[in-house]
Amino acid sequence: MSEVNTTLISENTKKEIDLWLQKFPAEQKRSGVLYALRLVQQDNKGWLTEELMDAVANYLNLPKIAVYEVATFYSMYDLKPVGRNKIAVCTSISCYLCGADKIVEHLQKKFKVPMGEATLDGMFTLKEAECLAACDRAPVMLVNDKEYRGNLTIEKVDEILDSCSLDGMK
C-alpha cells in the first residue's frame, strides 16, 4: 500500500473515526469506511476527491479499491462539487410507480439542471437515489441528507422548497 497523506483528514474527524472503529474488532476496519467517508465528505463541502478517498484508505489501512467501491456504489456520496442544498429523489420502482418521474421532471425544469448536477448559483444539486427505504411514503425525496419528505406531489415539492430555508437545514 502506497503512502498517502492523511493530513487531509482533520484531527477532529480522525478522532470521530477512531471512536466509531472501537465498536468493531480491530481487524474489521472496513466497517468504518461508510462513516469515515461521510465525515470526510462533510468536511469538504459535501463531496469527495480522489485524494480524500485515498487518505481514508490509508488511515484505515485498506486498499484504495475498498474505499472507491463504497464511494461509487452509494448515492449518499458525491464525487464532484455539489450545491449548498442537495435534493435526492428516490427513483426506485415504488416511488416511480407513484410519480417520482414527474417529480424529477418538475425539479429539472424548475432548477434548469439535469439530475446529478448543481445549479449555476451553487444553491442546489439534484440527485437520483436508487432507494430511500421509505416505500410507504412514495414518492420520497431526501433534503440535505437529513430530512425525508414523502407522499410527494408537484405542488407539495414546491411548497417544501418555498416554505423552508434550505440553507438552514444543514
CB 150 within 8 A of CB 138: yes
* pLDDT the model gives residue 17: 96
Amino acid occupying residue 100: A
pLDDT tens string 114-144: 999 999 999 999 999 988 999 999 999 999 8
Helices and strands in the chain, H and E counts = 7, 4
- Please tell me the distance from the alpha carbon of residue 167 to that of residue 170, in angstroms, as a whole number: 6
Instruction: Please provide the DSSP assignment of 77-141 as one string.
Output: --SS---SEEEEEE-SHHHHHTTHHHHHHHHHHHHT--TT-B-TTSSEEEEEES--S-GGG-S-E
Geometric angle at alpha carbon 67, from 9 and 69, rounded to 5°: 150
| CATH dotted code for 6-73 | 1.10.10
Buried b (16+ CB within 10 A) or exposed e, 146-158: eeebbebeeeebe
What is 85-169's CATH topology? Glutaredoxin (3.40.30)
Q: Is the pLDDT of residue 5 over 70?
A: no
Would you tell me how many other CB atoms lie within 10 Å of the CB of residue 124?
A: 21
- Which residues neighbour 30 within 8 Å (Cβ) at sequence distance 6 or greater? 60, 62, 66
pLDDT tens string 75-97: 889 999 999 889 999 999 999 99
CB 57 within 8 A of CB 35: no
pLDDT tens string 18-66: 999 999 988 888 999 999 999 999 999 999 999 999 999 999 999 999 9
Domain boundaries, the chain: 6-73, 85-169
- Please tell me the distance from the alpha carbon of residue 125 to that of residue 154, in angstroms, as a whole number: 18
Which residues are registered as beta bridge partners of 125?
A: 86, 118
